[in-house]
């Protein structure tokens, strides 16, 4: 890790590594808390002077300056510029992945299928090896036992969110997407209660809306299950349980194959935990299908 970090994402990753004890830096608890407050409200840092910021995050101007220098910056203004640049940096995540495809042999189309298959198999095996059984049992228990389950995924992650919602709703009641068509995010967040579960799904490049929803839901004491892609994912910070599912592959966006495999396996584990009640709900669903003549 280079000091100072040269962009906002690297500063965020540095903060996570500091919290995990992976980097030896003499940063106190108050300084760490102040840094996390700054990262959680980048716009505040970008628009405030040091006195205004100090008042907002309850940390003295002198301490902010010392923190900036500890991270390798010349002072607060250099640190502030990094926050100001955050919203101006265009993502090249998709185009860079597409560029790598252009170097592939176009005369052998099956090769890309074989490479993608091998990549998927390798990452699936690594995922099974690394994921803890405790986390899987905790995740399935939350899905089975929480009174209400809300699910949120943005952009590409919405496909995984829908897969989870459909499968879980077959097993138990009170399962829905967080944001419905007839109301916005603020109204949806207002529905969350202490005994609810919010499943947030997101991978790099992480959307601001997903991160904000997770942060605000945690403040409302709603438990969070995060399905994300890395130990450095910011979604881990808000989660009671976080599971990292690999998304790398030859596709020009995140690969969802292992996510689908994970959701199907997790739902099967949840059905086992629910026992006969899951069977009863599925039988009720089958009865309704029969009455509607859906399957004929």
The band of 183, judged by pLDDT with boundaries at 50, 70 and 90, is low
CATH 3.40.50.10490 maps onto the chain at 117-292
Query: What pLDDT shows up at residue 89?
Result: 54
| CATH class name, domain 117-292 | alpha beta
Question: Tens digits of per-residue pLDDT, 229-287?
Answer: 988 788 888 899 999 999 988 888 889 999 999 999 999 999 999 999 999 999 999 99
Question: Tens digits of per-residue pLDDT, 67-96?
Answer: 999 999 999 999 998 888 875 655 677 888
Query: What pLDDT shows up at residue 180?
Result: 61
Q: Is the pLDDT of residue 212 over 90?
A: no
Which carries the bigger pLDDT value, residue 183 or residue 266?
A: 266
Of all residues in the chain, the percent with pLDDT exceeding 70 is 96
Q: Give this prediction's pTM.
A: 0.76
Q: Is the pLDDT of residue 204 over 90?
A: no
Contacts of 20 (CB under 8 A, 6+ apart): 231
| Contact assessment for residue 205 and residue 93, using Cβ atoms and an 8 Å cutoff | yes
Alpha-carbon distance 156 to 234, whole Å?
17
- Mean of the per-residue pLDDT values for the chain? 89
Q: What tokens appear for 214 in the block? A: 């997770």
The band of 98, judged by pLDDT with boundaries at 50, 70 and 90, is confident
Query: What pLDDT shows up at residue 13?
Result: 85
Q: What does the buried/exposed string (b/e) look like for 157-166 if buried means 16 or more CB atoms within 10 Å of the residue's CB?
A: beebbebbbe
Q: What fold does the segment set 8-86 form as a domain?
A: Arc Repressor Mutant, subunit A (1.10.10)
CATH 1.10.10.10 maps onto the chain at 8-86
Tell me how crowded residue 133 is: count the other CB atoms within 10 A of its CB: 7
The band of 147, judged by pLDDT with boundaries at 50, 70 and 90, is very high
Query: What pLDDT shows up at residue 132?
Result: 93
Query: What pLDDT shows up at residue 90?
Result: 59
């Amino acid at each position: 890790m280079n000091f100072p970090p040269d962009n906002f994402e690297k500063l965020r990753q540095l903060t996570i590594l500091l919290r995990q004890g992976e980097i030896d830096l003499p940063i106190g608890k108050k300084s760490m808390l102040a840094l996390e407050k700054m990262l959680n409200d980048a716009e505040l840092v970008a628009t405030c002077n040091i006195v205004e910021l100090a008042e907002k995050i309850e940390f003295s101007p002198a301490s902010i300056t010392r923190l900036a220098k500890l991270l390798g910056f010349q002072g607060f203004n250099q640190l502030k510029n990094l926050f100001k640049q955050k919203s101006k940096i265009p993502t090249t995540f998709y185009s860079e992945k597409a560029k790598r495809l252009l170097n592939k042999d176009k005369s052998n189309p099956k090769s890309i299928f074989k490479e993608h298959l091998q990549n998927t198999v390798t990452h699936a095996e690594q995922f099974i090896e690394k994921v803890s059984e405790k986390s899987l049992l905790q995740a399935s228990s939350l899905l089975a036992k929480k009174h209400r389950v809300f699910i949120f995924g943005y952009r590409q992650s919405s496909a995984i969110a829908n897969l989870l919602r459909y499968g879980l709703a077959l097993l138990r009641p009170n399962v829905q997407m967080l944001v419905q068509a007839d109301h916005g995010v603020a109204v949806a967040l207002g529905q969350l209660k202490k005994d609810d579960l919010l499943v947030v799904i997101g991978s790099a490049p992480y959307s601001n809306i997903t991160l904000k929803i997770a942060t605000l839901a945690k403040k409302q004491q709603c438990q969070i299950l995060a399905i994300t892609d890395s130990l450095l994912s910011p979604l881990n910070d808000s989660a009671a349980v976080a599971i990292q599912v690999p998304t790398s592959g030859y596709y020009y966006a995140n690969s969802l194959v292992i996510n689908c495999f994970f959701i199907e396996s997790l739902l099967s584990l949840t059905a086992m935990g629910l026992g006969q009640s899951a069977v009863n709900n599925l039988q009720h669903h089958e009865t309704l299908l029969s009455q509607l003549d859906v399957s004929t």
